[in-house]
């Protein structure tokens, strides 16, 4: 089994699992809770997003080199067919980190009545979490 096949299998399992959690929560048999509020469901959703990103990511050359008898060179673009990839690196992407419900409530309580101060506090907290 290849890495991509394993990721596709895990992705399908997580989607089915979260669908089952949602159906259980919606049926009312599990008590009075929402599936989306459960840590297990949220962890699966994060994993689903990460797996999708990993499946879409492609390693691409970041530089090219040429080494012939009398020529050598490095370039950021492929000049001709003789130029070979120097090395590859996966795309550098960072997943967005949002605020938890507790963090939102805390910010609202601390800045109640001051909408500009609240907006700046939220912005600062998000910047800190997404460094």
pLDDT per residue as tens, the chain (131 positions): 778 888 889 889 888 888 887 887 777 766 666 777 777 778 888 888 888 888 887 767 767 777 776 777 777 677 777 778 776 655 567 788 888 888 988 888 888 888 888 888 898 988 888 88
* Token pair 């673009």: residue: 77
Burial class (CB in 10 A: 0-12, 13-18, 19+), 18: buried
CB 67 within 8 A of CB 79: no
């Amino acid at each position: 089994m290849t890495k991509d096949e394993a990721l596709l299998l895990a992705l399908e399992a997580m989607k089915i699992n979260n669908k089952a959690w949602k159906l259980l929560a919606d049926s009312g048999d599990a008590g009075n809770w929402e599936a989306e509020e459960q840590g297990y469901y949220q962890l699966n959703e994060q994993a689903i997003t990460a797996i999708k990103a990993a499946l879409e990511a492609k390693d691409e050359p970041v530089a090219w080199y040429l080494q012939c008898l009398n020529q050598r060179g490095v370039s950021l673009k492929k000049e001709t067919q003789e130029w070979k990839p120097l090395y590859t690196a996966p795309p550098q992407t960072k997943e967005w980190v949002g605020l938890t419900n507790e963090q939102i409530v805390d910010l609202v309580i601390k800045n109640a009545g001051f909408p500009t101060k609240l907006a700046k506090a939220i912005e600062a907290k998000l910047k800190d979490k997404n460094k």
